[in-house]
A and B are shown apart, each in its own frame.
Chain A
Amino acid sequence: MSAPVHRCPGAATLVLLAAGLACAGARAASDPAGRWEGVADVPGQPLRLVIDLDRDAQGHWTGSAILPGRGVKGAAVDGLAVAGCDVRVGLAAAFPGGAALQPKLALACRGDGALAGTFTLGGHAAPVSLHRSGPAQVDRPPAVRPITAALAGRWTGRYELGGFAREVTLTLANGADGTGGGQLVIVGKRTTTLQVDQVTQGREFVSLRASAANFAIEGRFAAQEGVIDGAMSQGPYEAPLVLRRQPGQKAS
């Protein structure tokens, strides 16, 4: 026993139902903003898709994707283009190696209110049909805030991985765009310098990431003591790491 997840309101009479269907088709044609769910008929492996499309505060189109069962929730779309009834969506962030696979949706509205077209990936193409299931719930990237003076500056620490010690020097500052970033110098058998491109400072917890190397540091942040007590990780490998602020190195 089951029922449709979403019902068409006001479909109490045939007249209203007909009007509602026509209205739904027109709405899809004129405004694709909303949540769209459906399946791409990849042979032998249907791909469930949930695409959220909406306008931001400046009126620009924005969107995100969910791939149920593939571990993808709220992946940012790329190359989003909406022109009347035509919608183009890139899904590179939703697939490992997405840039090479070039996954894309090319959609157009149908008379029944659906968005239908083609899903392409790795040189293949499959038909796709999406139906509107509700208002858009676009996942936007978390707001990045400047780091505080207590976190900015030079930090040092040491970790051991695979039986070898590494000395770490971390320098953090706010960039011209007002977000935190910096440089990570790791000295072991050789010296490695990484750019820290993501810094998330919470009330009690700090996360740093050097995306190009999939290297991360996170831990409890004690501003008064000048300590970040946590761990480093690189993929599945991790080790305890305590970073201590170096005196006289506070910056903003």
Chain B
Amino acid sequence: MSTKIIAAVLGALLSLAPTAPRAQAMFRGGPAHQGVTSEAAPRTFHRVRWAFPTGGRIVSSAVWHDGAVLFGSDDGNVYAVDAASGRQRWMAHTGGPVASTPAVSEGRVFAVSYDGRLYAFDARSGEVLWKFATEGERRFEAKGLHGLQPRSQTYPDLYDVYLSSPLVVDGRVVFGSGDGHVYAVDAASGTLAWKFATGDVVHASPAYDQGLVVVGSWDGRLYALDAATGAQRWAFQAGLDPLIHNQQGFQSSAAIADGTVFVGCRDGHLYAVDLRTGAPKWNVDTEGSWVNASPAVAQGRVWFATSDTAQYRVVDAATGQPAQAMGSTQAYVFGSPTIAGDTVLLGVLNGSLQARDRADGRVLWEFRTEAARANRGWVLSAEGRFNSGWLYASGWGDQSNDGTRRQDGVGSFYATPLVAGGTVYIGSADATMYAIE
């Protein structure tokens, strides 16, 4: 962490970046979280087919089940919405914001809520089947976080927007918790199979391959756990930032392909790590810009995006070397890219959903929320970047946090696009789930 970075934090303050999945019933499309679907995305924008309003910000990504899109909302509900009509099939209430992406397996829907519970719902009716209580949710927090003042104050990280999205593998639901544990729970009964303690909040989503569960923690370590027992196989230590805690922690979820784990980190790197040993293979240095988006991996290439520097990047999976010219997303990216046929979809926090050509990265079309177009309060510059100097009056905690909250006012896309039947489904911080074709 450099003084340059601290100055940037104190001045224009803070950064962002989100996540994106595909037409299947789990975050990032499957246990390995590769973020690739065989579904074809529209190459041109036609219209918003329907828009489904909820009561709260949507950072959860949609998943597909039986002709419906399922997702959570910060209004505390999990929704099943008919994909064709946009009408609600059912709504299931939890005790807190559902900032995680549901997973569907064998007629059950699993979702994590800010009330500190993993829920199992009946996929047809939304009826609660069981709940599993953790030791409680919380955001990542630290004294003097991001350089906020007063520095002796402990601040919750407003950019810790997601909860861990459950992984379903071998009849167990695996997820991380704000209590610092990774849990494995029997999918049928909701009873604990094992739990593993990390050093801090776990809000990344576990990935799975070859008997290993791989998940990062806000303690700055990426863990590989035995899926059957929860025993640690290895841990990879990423960067730490003991002064302002800005440049540390895994918010990005790992993707696994061909024996390699790819994962972004808030320490300003994308890492490639050997799945069996945890040995580092290569990394991409983003010069301090968070990589909160979960990478997508397909055919020897890795797609990811950055937060503050708003970079759209494609690198070679074997070497980490650029495989495509770097593009700009204009604003922070937290959501993950979805590879859908020859198109890459990416949600941006400035309220735009971008569709890019997979081969060369050029923008094919862009959808902007009504709030982004209206840009009330000049949250965005005329170029679509965040007006940081306008939003953040100072580095004092309350004023800075107010600026962070105002950013969402443009309908930020924290979620990852789902593609099914030629339609893109994505939720926005404007509390709306969109079906775009």
| Chain A residues near B (Cβ < 8 Å) | 1-5, 7, 37, 46, 48, 50, 66-74, 134, 137, 139, 202-205, 207, 218, 220, 230-231, 233, 238
Contacts and interface: CB of A to CB of B under 8 A. Distances in A.
B129 A73 contact: no
Contacts of A67: 55
Contacts of A74: 91
Contact of A202 (B88, B128, B366, B367): B128
Interface string B75-88: 11100000000111
Contacts of A205: 127-131
Interface string B366-383: 111010010010000000
B430 A68 contact: yes
13 contacts: A1-B368, A3-B47, A4-B48, A46-B376, A68-B430, A69-B56, A69-B57, A71-B56, A71-B76, A137-B88, A202-B128, A205-B131, A231-B133
A40 to B, nearest CB: 15
Given A68-B431, A137-B87, A205-B130, A5 B50 contact: yes
A140 to B, nearest CB: 11
B164 interface: no
Contacts of B91: 73-74, 139
A69 B405 CA distance: 12
Nearest to B428: A68
B51 A5 contact: yes
Given A1-B365, A137-B87, A73 B75 contact: yes
Contacts of A66: 53-55
B19 interface: no
Contacts of B55: 66-73
B190 interface: yes
Contacts of A218: 131
B198 interface: no
B37 to A, nearest CB: 23
Place the interface of chain B in its size category: 35 or more
B130 A204 contact: yes
B219 interface: no
Contacts of B46: 3
Interface in B267-308: none
B125 to A, nearest CB: 9
A2 B367 contact: yes
A73 B54 contact: yes
Contacts of B365: 1
Contacts of A5: 48, 50-51
B45 interface: yes
Contacts of B127: 202-203, 205
Contacts of A1: 45, 365-368
Given A1-B367, A1-B368, A68-B431, 9 more contacts: A68-B56, A68-B432, A69-B431, A73-B55, A73-B91, A202-B129, A203-B127, A205-B129, A207-B128
B73 interface: yes
A205 B91 CA distance: 17
Nearest to A230: B131
Contact of B129 (A2, A134, A204): A204
Contacts of A233: 95
A71 B431 CA distance: 9
A2 B352 CA distance: 10
Nearest to B432: A68
B378 to A, nearest CB: 15
B200 interface: no
Contacts of B56: 68-71, 73
Interface in B62-81: 73-77
Nearest to B190: A220
A3 B430 contact: no
A186 B12 CA distance: 54
A233 B94 CA distance: 13
Nearest to A204: B129
